[in-house]
Amino acid sequence: MFSPCSRHLFISSQLRRLQSTLVVAEHNNEGLLPVTQNILSAAKKIGGDVSVLVAGTKCGPAAEQISKASGVSKVLVAESDVFKGCTAETLTPLILATQKQFSFTHILAPATAFGKAVLPRVAAKLDVSPITDIIGVKDANTFVRTIYAGNAILTLEAKDSIKVITVRGTAFAPEPLEGGSAAVEKAPEGDYKTDLTEWISQELTKSDRPELTSAKNIVAGGRGLKSGENFKLLYDLADKLNAAVGASRAAVDAGFVPNDLQIGQTGKIVAPDLYIAVGISGAIQHLAGMKDSKTIVAINKDPEAPIFQVADHGLVADLFKAVPELTSKL
């Protein structure tokens, strides 16, 4: 006979074996976007089999990359011109067909513009409640996420039989793409063409600097810079640090920089090794997007600015004097 403790452990291990997770990969056909590796880490914490869906036009290289990750049991590939641009309208029926065939208990995607467009549709079609932007996994049914712009942490238990989840990539370590040899199979075939939307084109900003969400160092500016021309101070500093450049919503709304540089609750979520906030007061919406950074340095002339409450190092100074001096010493 099993003791109560042994019985609990046995049942728990059996349930973990029954878990199966589908990770919807984000990629550019030529390769995976780094955030997919973070989502794999979250999937492995849930336990059970992990499968990855890669859909695109010529996504063979991305599928080959993910098949090398340890812990992935199979990679499902859907290649067709229908998936050009990976629109939510074409991916949703593909994910539903894949779910119907394999009966996954969890469906995961990154909490990026891509994942936020696709998974709510999937959840609605499956008649379940989506679980958004998780930062932790307690067990297969219990997850951790932030609320109130990151000022409170919520632990929730999901009751739905299928959990549809977007994952904050910065909260999980990236899973290395080595040590595995997953089988690569065709995803369920079907008519996934839609007349609802048509992918026309995409214009990407080209830069020699690191991409904002994956950069190890970030220099960010706020309204204190007073104009877009003054952001050159930050670009010069970023060049010395091999850093990406970001901005607060106030700077974006003022027209200083384009909105793809916005960091915060309604912008991009980042967690670099070094975050230098220049002329940023520290509204809670901005802090929600960067306070997981390992080291935060704040430069602001207002000693009462909220940014100093989360900063590891603070400098109360005129940024127009402090930033050029800092740049010259690097």
pLDDT grade, residue 201 (50/70/90)? confident
Beta carbons of 128 and 160 less than 8 angstroms apart = yes
pLDDT of residue 77: 93
pLDDT reading at 14 higher than 50: no
Closest among 252, 244, 247 to 220, alpha carbons compared: 247
pLDDT reading at 294 higher than 80: yes
Structure tokens at 319: 């940024």
The model's pLDDT over 242-282, given as tens digits with 9 standing for 90+, comes to 999 999 999 999 999 998 899 998 889 999 999 999 999 99
pLDDT of residue 19: 84
pLDDT reading at 20 higher than 80: yes
Q: In angstroms, how far is CA 270 from the centroid of its own chain? A: 9
- In angstroms, the CA 294 to CA 22 distance is 30
- In angstroms, the CA 74 to CA 263 distance is 35
pLDDT of residue 194: 85
In this prediction, residues 277-300 reach a mean pLDDT of 93
Beta carbons of 273 and 217 less than 8 angstroms apart = yes
pLDDT grade, residue 192 (50/70/90)? confident
pLDDT of residue 218: 96
pLDDT grade, residue 147 (50/70/90)? confident
pLDDT of residue 126: 96
Half-sphere exposure of 194 (CA within 13 A, CB side): 17
Binding residues for FAD: 223, 248-249, 262-266, 279-286, 300
The model's pLDDT over 43-61, given as tens digits with 9 standing for 90+, comes to 999 989 999 999 999 888 9
Please state which of the ranges 7-16, 17-26, 90-99, 227-236 shows the lowest mean pLDDT.
7-16
pLDDT reading at 227 higher than 90: yes
pLDDT of residue 13: 46
- In angstroms, the CA 163 to CA 158 distance is 7
Token pair 């942490």 in the structure block, residue: 153
pLDDT grade, residue 9 (50/70/90)? very low
Radius of gyration of the chain (CA): 22
User: 72: helix, coil or strand?
Assistant: strand
pLDDT grade, residue 2 (50/70/90)? very low
User: 58: helix, coil or strand?
Assistant: coil
Q: How far is residue 144 from each of residues 20, 39, 141, 153, measured CA to CA in Å? A: 20, 15, 10, 7
Structure tokens at 265: 């609750």
The model's pLDDT over 304-316, given as tens digits with 9 standing for 90+, comes to 999 999 999 999 9
Q: What is the pTM of this model?
A: 0.81
- In total, the chain counts a number of residues equal to 330
More confident residue, 39 or 5: 39
pLDDT grade, residue 15 (50/70/90)? very low
Please state which of the ranges 30-34, 41-45, 214-218 shows the lowest mean pLDDT.
30-34
Token pair 């290289």 in the structure block, residue: 61
pLDDT grade, residue 10 (50/70/90)? very low
pLDDT grade, residue 166 (50/70/90)? very high
Binding residues: 223, 248-249, 262-266, 279-286, 300
Angle at 282 between CA 303 and CA 261, to 5 degrees: 130
Query: SS3 string of 79-144?
Result: ECHHHCCCCHHHHHHHHHHHHHHHCCCEEEEECCHHHHHHHHHHHHHHCCCCEEEEEEECCCCEEE
Structure tokens at 222: 């706020």
